[in-house]
Chain A
Amino acid sequence: MKTSNVLRRVYGVTAALIGVLFFFIIVGVFGLPFAIAGLGVFVVGAVVVCHAFPTERAEL
């Protein structure tokens, strides 16, 4: 297996783990203040990623 493939999988697993962590935070496992903060960070992060990587324009 090439190093780039290994790295890609590591990144993929890391992204999945971050997603699971956010899910647990947002459902309130760590309390309401953390849930509100987690929701805010996730939403802002999602908006930033969507703005920074406008794939529908870049690939056309």
Chain B
Amino acid sequence: MKLDPSILARIQFAFTVSFHIIFPTMSIGLASFLAVIEALWLKTKNPTYLQIYRFWLNIFAMGFGIGVVTGIVLSFEFGLGFARFAQMAGPAIGPLIALEVLTAFFLEAGFLGIMLFGLHRVGPKLHFFATCMVAVGTLISASWILSANSWMQTPAGVAIHDGQLTVVNWLHVLMNPSWPYRLPHMLTAAYLTASFMVAGVGAWYLLRGKHQDFARRTVALGTAFATVLIAGQVFIGDLVYGTMLKYQPSKMQAAEGFWEKQSPSPAPYYWFIIPDQKDQRNRFALGTPRLGSIWLTHSLNGRVEGLKNTPRELQPRMALVFYAFRIMYCLAMLMFAIGVASLWLRFRGTLFHSRWFLWMLVCMTPSGIIATLAGWYVAETGRQPWVIYGILRTVDAVSPVPSQALLSTLIAFVCVYAVFITAFLIFTFRIIRRGPVEAPVYPEASGSIKNAFRPHVLDSPKRLADSQFS
């Protein structure tokens, strides 16, 4: 059997990047969540917040570690699997990735040790500062990476001479047209991921009748954050949609499942289709009448553009883009419904007793990860056949390496990553099964940085604890 190196290179990158994105999504969301929880603990001195912090810190640490390791692999893959892309786009992409390492990765690495192991060694305020710095580091990291990826979606600020790309305006490269919308979209997705994870685990404890104080606070916090965030995400998502419709119409044409240059008026909104890319038609389509016009054109009778507006050789695969978009969008609607339901149950005072709602939260625990993955599939498969939209095609970006080399490394990645995900899941479920451990109000300091930020609360924990409760 003859294997196509360009297909293998794409499968390998798709696999490794899909695996990788799960962990930064969790890390970005959990780092900010931990900062909020630690701030609440410092403000209230309620030991439950410290319990919540310690519990999620363990899961954050594992996710962060796997995220870093799997992220480094991607940089090497640019060179190994997509050497022509690296050669051509290097002047624009290279500095962005290098700056991510210099600014974000160094910041995170510097403070991560204090965050993970310093609770008993430095003062609470310095520890809180370290947590905030790690959270800020994840944001900066996401910003650089989104800038690089958005540039591939909507390239700007470059000129091409003799097949070599030259940067003519760094600001335009950095702040390319889709970056201001895609960055908040990704960050909100990460925060939503963390919110549903936190609420889901809390709901599980409530259903099992365990760790009531911990569970109620996490469900209350998780649903409150999720409700506010999903409203923002729906709004930002619509802005991203409008931007991509302007700069990458083929992606959104594929996402809506219409083939003809103009849809019927009023346009339906398709939920399920069986597209036939070869015949450029849908073999079957199931949708809601008129909803397509209302949602997509914001009018009662508007027409939606179909994929035949894009030349056949420049069309993405409709099935991939359509279903990835539907998964993301349907999960967003479900999240919105859960947010509204949580407000209603809160209003009625039955947030912690409605078993159907708690089961919904448990089922929605991985929803943020699934929605984020689906969103990235829309972004990446919808950009095809381009790797840099309008500049370099994916088939022209692949390295001239033998297919056997790509196949063997792909098998190796699958095996190693299977070990990673198995270990992560085993330890995460073990942490959840064990539950939060009782935490004292004041952690004891062993004092490697004794007077950092004047942590007087640690000088004599017993005295302060006595004065607190006397």
Contact = CB atoms under 8 A, between A and B. Distances in A.
B298 A46 contact: no
B358 to A, nearest CB: 13
B340 A19 contact: yes
B353 to A, nearest CB: 9
A23 B234 contact: yes
Given A16-B340, A23-B333, A60-B213, A55 B232 contact: no
Interface in A5-60: 12, 15-16, 18-19, 22-24, 26-31, 35-36, 39, 42-43, 45-47, 49-50, 53-56, 58-60
B228 interface: yes
Counting contact residues on chain B (CB < 8 A from A), the size range is: 20 to 34
A39 to B, nearest CB: 5
A28 to B, nearest CB: 5
B231 A43 contact: yes
Contacts of A36: 235
Interface stretch (B343-351, B364-372, B440-448): B343-351
Contacts of B216: 55-56, 59-60
Interface string B286-314: 00000000110010000000000000000
Question: Helix, strand, loop or mixed for chain A's interface?
Answer: helix
B235 A26 contact: yes
B196 interface: no
A42 B337 contact: no
Interface residues of A, number: 31
B220 interface: yes
- Which among B212, B294, B340 has the highest number of chain A CB atoms within 10 Å? B340
B231 A27 contact: no
Given A23-B336, A54-B220, A55-B220, A47 B235 contact: no
8 contacts: A12-B344, A16-B340, A26-B234, A26-B235, A28-B298, A50-B343, A56-B216, A56-B219
What are the nearest 3 A-B pairs in CB distance? Answer: A19-B340, A56-B220, A56-B216
Given A46-B339, A54-B220, A56-B219, 7 more contacts: A22-B231, A23-B234, A29-B295, A36-B235, A39-B231, A50-B220, A58-B349
Interface of A: 12, 15-16, 18-19, 22-24, 26-31, 35-36, 39, 42-43, 45-47, 49-50, 53-56, 58-60
